[in-house]
Amino acid sequence: MQFVLLVLLAAPSLAEEFEWTSVGVRGAVNFQDAGLPPGEKVDFEQFDVVGTLGFPGHWEVPGHWNARYQLNTTGGALRGDGETGFISTVTVGIALARERWPVTFDFGLGGALLSTWRFPG
């Protein structure tokens, strides 16, 4: 609770502009029998393009952290059991990052649009 109040009361720095903080391609697979219950009926593969748009301004958080609003978007394909469908996601949230540290923590909410959500199998 203290963190949320701190972020809401901090004054943003408006010297920044909208910027693409990351753009890339990603892929994922799962296996029917990966040894983790419950097992899947079908193997799935996902391939998509990912983009993260940083909003202007940021908040300084104690411990040399910066917080910033961002928009994450994806668009690609989900394939399972010989069928392929379109998948797209949009999320908005806050990114926490430290200067000179290669890790960013993202927190947010969003939704997904799937052209196919039931695959035979």
- The contacts of residue 79 (CB under 8 Å, 6+ apart) are 44, 45, 46, 47, 85
Interval 3-57: pLDDT, tens: 333 333 344 444 468 999 889 999 988 766 666 666 667 778 899 999 999 999 8
Domain ranges of the chain: 2-114
This prediction has a pTM of: 0.71
Interval 53-92: pLDDT, tens: 999 988 999 988 999 999 999 999 998 888 899 999 999 9
At 107 the pLDDT is: 93
